[in-house]
Chains A and B, each alone.
Chain A
Amino acid sequence: MNQPEIETSAPPSTRSHADPDRWVDEHGDCLYRFALTRVRKEEVAEDLVQETLLVAVRTHEKFGGRSSERSWLVGILKNKICDHFRKLGRETNFTDLEFFSDEHSDKFDGENYWIHERGPSDWKPEGEDAMKRAEFWQTIQGCLAKLPDRVATVFTMREIDDVPSKEICATLNITEANLWVMLHRARMALRQCLEVNFFDGQGGARL
């Protein structure tokens, strides 16, 4: 495995040898960001990237270039993240119902109808236009960071990675009813955060 200098310019077909240094340079940042979005702790994300590349070194011979190198590595990383969550689910109680237990009760009147001036406002710029703005994404990042860890994990698995509810419950060892409550509160909090920090600020991020 002691390869001579990196052959970054070589076409993928000739890169059949393990080349962890090049993997770090070419895919390291992307893998790290992917992990960080999901596990939120820098040192954990770094460890997961390392474990991923160690697996890649061991198994690269089986990877016959069927997919791009990037998606092969991301695939390994996804499994590692899933293992990480499974372990957390065994070790800690993953249900976090303390979070926003009042469910924005200040927004509803005594009969549980929206208080009109506090209900969801009319978002401008609209959907697609908002998604073109870097501030929109920065606000989402900032809002995600404010969610408590366990809620964020559940929410990320469901909304970003589209993992089916039952699978999340099995991985984290929680009941479906608790999952729904956590997701509901996360969505409510994130919607609110995005409204206050992006849309009501006329599209200017004031996080």
Chain B
Amino acid sequence: MNLTEQISKELNQTSELPKFGSGDTITVSYKIIEGEKERIQDFKGVVIQRRGVGATETFTIRKISSSIGVERIFPLNSPLIANITVNKKGKVRRARIFYLRNLTGKSARIKERR
């Protein structure tokens, strides 16, 4: 490992997060700072990709909110992520499941991995 990677790893040590990958349904508890106050907002959906390495790794979550598809990208090392819970392990064949964007209703289901 070179020095750059080493330093970025040391400086971006976040609390332990559970393992998850694309196809999994997860809930991200995200801190929102409004002036002085701080509250936590949950965002629950399917992980459709993880990208990047090290300090800049991000993941994208997609959910259907009142029949409109919503995607949100989170930096994995963000200090604003309070917690991540894995609700369901999904069985998918590829790392980036963008085909989900074209599917709705019954066809957009993902089989659960057991």
Partners in one complex: no
